[in-house]
Structure formats: structure tokens, C-alpha cells
Copies of this chain bind each other. A is one copy, B any other.
Amino acid sequence: MSSQFGDIFRISTFGESHGKSVGVVIDGCPPNIKIDWARVQHWLDRRRPGQSALTSTRQEADKVACYAGIEDGITLGTPIMLAVRNCDQRPSDYRNDILRPSHADYSYLAKYGLKPSSGGGRASARETVSRVAAAAIAERVIATIAPALEIIAWVDSVSDLQCNFTAEQRRKITPADIEANSIRCPDDSLAIEMQELITTAKDTGDTVGGCLAVSIRNCPAGLGEPVFDKLEAKLAHAMLSIPATKGFEIGSGFAGTKMSGSQHNDPYRSQNGKVITTSNNSGGVQGGISNGEEIFMRIACKPVSTVFKEQTTITTDRKPVKYTPKGRHDPCVLPRAVVVAEAMATLVIVDLLLQHKTRQLAN
């Protein structure tokens, strides 16, 4: 289904970027989970536009309201509905017949036979508000089932500026390290270079891309389903559903294709009775199922399509046209996309944790 995600903890999102509101219905959230609304709002604040000089100037407070499913901060087991009002929508910026390069104008038109005046609609990154709100609830469910599990994400590269953490350094990255700068890159000095690069791009009306890193720590072994719903398959699905993403790799990823099998293999050891591996080229999954090691993945994000330069394209009636965009856009989606990637990993994990309960009768 187009706007649903998850088999057990299933979310249904709604809302156009320039419509009345965006939000989510969560079906299948267990009862008796304590929700801290300040924490939920914190998730949304990290995603919202206007939080730094590098993000869109669209002014949205993104204050979340709950309309169902939670009473006195406790989940009831019934559907949870969370919504955020759009305050600063400007549909008139989009009311034209131009097929913007690398936007979804044409593919939506081909699919639906219409080009709504409300702008980007569901193709806008504004729909990710719903994902982040849902993840803020999912996080509390995970904390109840697997308290040690931790999901963090950061900006791993911007254009050709690339973090180079050793595995050991990577394991020590904290949420505070990531939030220490507006880029959300835990390498502080690289973050400064990234910021300059983005500012330069912005000043020339251009945009840049980069890669996200997501790390899932202390995930119980045994998560994920064989064959089609492998953990990495679900994660790839989740990450490639985020606007502007073009690639996904787990563990050794594309670089691992150049290794030999004897280099790549991760031998098992016993450490205080716990099974561990001495390397982690697998990225925490074998046969599609978690093995208890760090689950590590990287996601490629293309440069933002809205460049404030004149471009040549065509209109809906096939006429050539010169086009310079209006609208308010980020010169680089990475710093905000960090939060969305974290949200999607959270939604994958909560669903697999709940599904796993149906596989284990002894628990």
C-alpha cells in the first residue's frame, strides 16, 4: 500500500505539503506504553525546517497534537492519531504547468492524470513529519521490549567530504556528538568543512548531496525474517522510501564486492558466553537475521532538485520553457534526513521485534 508501513505496528500517513495538515494513524501499538510528549516533540523539532541557516526558511512550528489512542500519556492499545497543522503553506508557489527537472511533477501527472495546485503533495519531504511522529511512539515500544537497543544516525558525507571513522571510533559516537553541530556530523572539524561547502552551494543557488550512516546497537540476535523479509531487505525498503535517496548498503556494502571470501568472513568467538564475531563485514546480519553485532548501513542522498538557477525544461503541454523556481528549499537535505533515517530504522525494528514475539512461543 502506498502510504502504509509495517505489518504489526502499522502506520498510515496522510497529508499534502501544502494542504491542511500532515499526520499518521498507528494501528497495532501495544497498550500501557508511557509516552513523554516533550520527547515526541523533540523528535519533530529535530526534523522541522527553519532550525538552522542551512535549512528551508519555511516557518512551521510542527507542534504535534494527539487526537486518539493515548490517554493521560498512556497508550490504550487502540489506534493512535497524531497530526501537525501546516501553517506556512504556499500552494500558489506551485500553481503552474511547468515540469520541474528531477521533481515528481511529470511522474505524478502520468500516474494520476492531474497536477494539483497544492504543490509537491505527497512527494514533498513534508510527509516525513508523519514518519518521525510515529517513530517517536515506536521508540517507547522498543525501549519496553529491548531496553539496551539504540538507534543513531548521522551525516557521513557531504559531496566528497567523507567521515573516516575506525570501527572502534564509530561505536563510541553518541547522540550528543551528532547534535553538537547543525550538520549532525560527529566529526566536528569535518562538519565545519561541510557547512562551508553547503553555504557555498547555497550562495550560488546550487545544492549538494551526501551519505547518511545509521547504526543499530545492541539489537538482539534473531531479528528479521528469512527469504523476502530479511532485515537488510526491510531496512533497504525503508531507507529507499525516504525522498531523495538513491542507494543503500549494509556492512561492507559495495566496497566488500572487491574483497575475497577469506578476507570478508566474520569468524565467531565466545566472549563471556556470548557469541560475537571478530570482524563485522556482515553489518550485523547473516541470512537476513541479526546476529547481535552492530547493524551498520549507509544511505546515498542525491543533491536537492530545486536549484535556484535558470533551467530549461517543458510544460505539461510539451512546450519548452525557461524555469527558475520559487518555493523554500534546503540546499542539502542531509542534516534533516538524519532524523528521518533514524525514524525509519526505528519503524523497521519495532515491527520486527513485535513480529518476533509470534515466532517464539517460549518467550
Contact = CB atoms under 8 A, between A and B. Distances in A.
A27 B221 CA distance: 21
Contacts of A224: 107, 111
A207 interface: yes
A201 B263 CA distance: 12
Q: How large is the interface on A (under 10, 10 to 19, 20 to 34, 35 or more residues)?
A: 35 or more
A199 to B, nearest CB: 14
Contacts of A309: 262
A318 B275 contact: yes
Contact of A2 (B14, B22, B225): B225
| Copies of this protein chain in the complex | 4
A210 interface: yes
A185 to B, nearest CB: 14
A358 B354 contact: yes
Nearest to A356: B111
A304 B247 CA distance: 22
A167 interface: no
Contacts of A245: 232
Nearest to A159: B258
A176 interface: no
Given A2-B27, A211-B254, A236 B240 contact: yes
A112 B32 contact: yes
Contact of A357 (B74, B253, B260, B358): B358
